[in-house]
Amino acid sequence: MQMRLILSPPQDGITNMATDQAIMEAVGDGHVPPTLRLYRWHPACLSLGYAQSMTDVDESRLQSKGWMLVRRPTGGRAILHTDELTYSISLPQDNPLVEGDIVTSYRRLTEGLRRGLEVLGLEAESRRQSKGRPGSAVCFETPSHYELTFDGRKLIGSAQVRRQKAVLQHGSLPLSGDITRICETLAYPNEWERDDAREKVRQRATTLEHALGKVIDWETAAYAMVEGFAEALGMIFEDSFLTPEESLRLEQLRAEVYSHDAWTYKR
């Protein structure tokens, strides 16, 4: 399968989400090939799932940290994007890799991620999960179906959306740092419950550094994922960039959707 590969420079959360959607639309319209994009975030950004309530966020604490806020086009719960590798893959809806339901396509695409971790020296697990724990605002507290775990702890979280004749799946691999930092900017009734949330995240999620016992830089992790998708899913990559049309569309999406209060505060 011929794939376009885009390695993006660090960008703010609004730009990252607008870019993912612009690529998805272009892929769905047949204007560009299926695309794998690997990227990072600057500054740190809290992202909410499409249907997640803003009441989960402590905005004053978020502002005091200087972290951004964005709402994703995909589902799931809150993620703090910092010190991580983020991937997004956009495919036409009739591509064999995304045939069937979302869970089935998760299982297929996860094989590329799992093989990428093997390239880095890590044997991660992927399986269908039992019913998740209700009530948590934190995405990384509970793995979903076929997300990758190590030693029982969630390592890569992913989410998917299907629209405009295309499928977008994106997800996060925390490379290093304190996995519990997200709890600093979420809303809790008191500090005791915040501390309890930190401990739950610590027990149920991990970083690549903690799993491997050493720090892996972004570039090394990125090229391992490219190798993983190539080997596991038969993808052949060509380095590329956004087209002028995609760049124009992402600027439109930045202004009219992802930086707009009607989108961010819609729930």
Active site residues: 139
- Calpha distance 21→248 (Å, rounded): 12
Secondary structure (DSSP) of 174-185: E-SS-TTGGGGG
What does DSSP assign to residue 74?
S
- Calpha distance 127→261 (Å, rounded): 37
Mutual angle of helices 244-253 and 13-28, in 10-degree steps:
130
Q: Taking the alpha carbons of 148, 194, 81, 254 in that order, is the dihedral positive or negative?
A: positive
- Calpha distance 95→109 (Å, rounded): 12
- Helix locations, the chain, DSSP H: 13-28, 59-65, 102-119, 191-204, 208-212, 218-233, 244-253, 261-264
Burial status of residue 135 (CB atoms within 10 A of its CB: 0-12, 13-18, 19 or more):
exposed
Distances in whole angstroms, Cα of residue 33 to Cα of each of 51, 95, 238, 241: 29, 11, 10, 12
Distances in whole angstroms, Cα of residue 171 to Cα of each of 191, 261, 262: 29, 24, 24
- Calpha distance 231→107 (Å, rounded): 16
- 3-state percent breakdown (helix, strand, coil) of the chain, nearest 5: 40, 25, 35
